[in-house]
Structure 1
Amino acid sequence: MAEPLGFRPLYRQVKAIFVRRLVDGVWAPGEGLPSEGQLAAEIGVSQGTVRKALDELAAENLVVRRQGRGTFVAEHDERRILFQFFKLVPDNGERRFPDSTVLSAETGLADAAEQAALDLTAKDRVIRVRRLRSFETVPLIVETLSLPQRLFPGLEAGPIPNNLYSLYAARYGITIAHARERLKAVALNADDAGLLGVAAGSPALQIDRLALALDGMPVERRLSLCLTEEAHYLSDLR
């Protein structure tokens, strides 16, 4: 039975239908989608319209086209996160995923910054994960993640993997679609400096990232303090 369509450009309407299926878990990460012909017949549009909708999803890294095999829901594997979400690169240019050591994981009431970023109230609780990230045992990043507890019940009990975005999708059905980042130069306080093995007051790059789910809902605030003496922030503008 064809799904009802509205008044937006047709391929955008079809894309919205596909995104809703991703949000609702009808199509799971790694799963192959029906053929373009099958989707076109089901929705009641041309195959070209379906192809254009899927092309936009592929450009947004939500699906993956595999030559001769079809279209698959994208997974948050390390390679995808490394090139789409992790922008700190060693000065030698070798892109790699940092190691991660969880320092603490606890719950509490959302503070003012968390409320503003995650659309929460003063009565809402968050999970705060504090961790240290390193390249080849050399500490490079100390970060604090804030998550709405209602979306991720039990996450603080662990284990907490390095690849959190994959955990969000697999355990909680929440796929990170995109993120917004604000960058600022700061001086490290004594606690953060000690974790990174440098003197208090040392300069660092602060990355304030807000990660959003497929439906645009903010689901994670990540505040990262990064040493940049031997690394740099790389943004590939297109």
Structure 2
Amino acid sequence: MNPINRTCLQELLQCKLLRLDAEFGNASGFFSASKSGIDSFDANLPTQTIEYEGRITGAQLKINDSITIAAQEFTRSTKFVAQQDSNLFDFVSRFVVLSNDRAASIASEKIEHRCRNIYHQHAVNSATVPIGNKGFLHFSDTNTTGHQLFERVFYVRDESIEPNGMKRWIVHHRLIVKQETANLIVRCCYPRFEGPAPFQKIIPNTIKKKLFRIRETKNPNFPFMAVGESLLSSNHQVFIGTKIKLIND
């Protein structure tokens, strides 16, 4: 059978039409398990857990990531535990999904894949994206426990096209700072200089609010973006629970 016609979740993982990652970030940068060389899940095992630590400037977290796979659905439990007082922008249970040319949906919004790389983010409990040639993945929240300074959201992003013509979707089940309570920081997003801009104290808060997540929501190539940071105290933990159901069209 052609890999893009697979009708079982384990097979979709095996042929990499569905890939998993975990991330967290702040104004200094972000940690990605896959980009840090952390071994991914074994797609041949129905139940498994991996555990590792991630560090960026200003944050150190232990991540415990578990999945249980069945034929048509699987559950994922991703726990982040602060190993020190950590300033954070977000925590992410990340999914990369490949499909042919069909639309995704979130919060009654239909999203065509146009390689715009826009974050269609909503404070909702579910999102749906196509996978392979004919199936859909329905993502839903299961008992996520966060923090009063962070909001629980999903987003869908139409990132790019693979060399074989498949559309690359990004789905984030995310805990992100609440803008109204976070310390807003403007970041430079040039390739040669990426990180917090100098002279933060003289940048008006009104400008920071206008720049908040601007590269995510409007212009992925804008040279600046404001993010927020809130404190996660040492030993505090947050948990992102996700259920993924395969719907064969």
Normalising by structure 2, we get a TM-score of 0.28
Larger radius of gyration: 1
Task: Determine which structure has the larger helix proportion and give its number.
Answer: 1
Task: Determine which structure has the larger strand proportion and give its number.
Answer: 2
Larger RCO (alpha carbons 8 Å, 6+ apart)? 2
Normalising by structure 1, we get a TM-score of 0.29
